[in-house]
Amino acid sequence: MKKKNSWDYQKTKNKAPGPPLGSRLVHTLLITGCCVAATISFLCLTLYIFSTPLTSSGQSLKEWIGLTSSVEESGMEETAGSPETDRSSPGETSISEKETFSQLPALLESDSPPSSEAAETEVPMLVYSGEQGNISGIGEQQEQDLTNDDYLVMLDTAMGTMLYYNQGDDRWGDYLYGGADPIRYYGCGPTVAAMLVNAFTNEAVTPKEMADWCSENRCHAPQSGSYHSIFNKTLPAFGLQVESAAGADYDTAAELLRTGHVLVALMGKGEFTNGGHFIIITNILENGNVSIADCNSLANTTMEWDLNQVLDELSRARDSGSPLWAVSFPAESE
């Protein structure tokens, strides 16, 4: 018993006295308060960061997450702005899935980041001025105060709707055709081919991509633009039918347009151009004039033109089916 009492005494003697109960309670409350304050501060900061963009766009967090998921699934973040990006229908005009798909390339070239607003933006149909065009300016490089958005218009053609491309568009205007010649000066051939292929086949291409294809397939004529065989090579390769309409008079050309063809015209040296320039005669109007797609001038594209005058200004070249080609969808096999 004496040994046990000695051990108990020694244990009690070595044990350090603890803080009073009141001090421990205050310490616990301080630690708890700090944790709660830190948690509240973190939540407030998080809500502040996310609430501003969501509120300004009128979206809930759930909607924002849904939008992000849909953008990632469609690959828009990689294709940038396009509505690449489905800018589906032009104005109130209903177009097919193939024609909707044909709008993508120009949007893929945009520098703007994708957004919900860009995805819902429609590519409008071009409003024609009804003004009679003066052919003295066709083919001349024109200074135009236009933005890339101004070029996002759909044209009505005898084959259907077509997205307009301008060779001077700064998304590809300085790109070197054949590694040497800027598209804005030498690229009317691949730009015209790109419009046709992009609109009327399942291939979505831009003038830049078409310029590369043409260069690889020997359509590029250094310091001169393109060889006249460019359309005999490009259009059939992508599934379109092309035939020479050289020598066509007004009635023949008008009938081709009325029966679902568009005409690629090589304009010769004269009032249209100082050299050579490709345009598309897109449709015949009720008054007998025609509409065109001039890849060097959006302003020219909005006007109507005297078909006889256009035919009179064709190049005198007669190689590779020039100076006029009729383009159409392939005949359905029976």
Region 16-45: mean pLDDT is: 68
Q: Distance (Å, rounded) from C-alpha 98 to C-alpha 334? A: 23
3-7, 74-78, 186-190: least confidently modelled range: 74-78
Mean residue pLDDT of the chain comes to: 75
Q: Distance (Å, rounded) from C-alpha 1 to C-alpha 216? A: 108
CA 139: distance to chain centroid? Answer: 24
Beta carbons of 164 and 154 less than 8 angstroms apart: yes
Provide the CATH topology of domain 125-328. Answer: Cathepsin B; Chain A (3.90.70)
More confident residue, 40 or 151: 151
The DSSP annotation for 280-321 comes to EEEEE-TTS-EEEE-TT-HHHHTSEE-HHHHHHTB-S--STT
Q: What was the pLDDT predicted at 121? A: 54
Q: Is pLDDT of 65 > 50? A: no
Q: What was the pLDDT predicted at 105? A: 54
44-53, 110-119, 221-230, 316-325: least confidently modelled range: 110-119
Q: Distance (Å, rounded) from C-alpha 44 to C-alpha 230? A: 63
Region 244-257: mean pLDDT is: 97
Q: Distance (Å, rounded) from C-alpha 328 to C-alpha 334? A: 17
Q: Is pLDDT of 249 > 90? A: yes
Q: Distance (Å, rounded) from C-alpha 24 to C-alpha 20? A: 7
Region 29-56: mean pLDDT is: 63
Q: What was the pLDDT predicted at 40? A: 78
pLDDT class of 24 with cuts at 50, 70, 90: low
Beta carbons of 294 and 305 less than 8 angstroms apart: no
5-19, 192-206, 257-271: least confidently modelled range: 5-19
Domain-wise residue ranges, the chain: 63-124, 125-328
pLDDT of 157-206, one tens digit each? Answer: 999 999 999 999 999 999 999 999 999 999 999 999 999 999 999 999 99
More confident residue, 124 or 50: 124
Q: Distance (Å, rounded) from C-alpha 325 to C-alpha 334? A: 25
pLDDT of 213-230, one tens digit each? Answer: 999 999 999 999 999 999
Q: Mention every residue, 6+ apart, whose C-beta is less than 8 A from residue 26.
A: none
Q: Is pLDDT of 125 > 70? A: yes
**In the chain, pLDDT over 90 holds for what percent of residues?**
51
Helix, strand, coil in percent for the chain, rounding step 5 = 45, 15, 40
pLDDT of 126-163, one tens digit each? Answer: 988 888 887 777 877 666 678 888 889 999 999 999 99
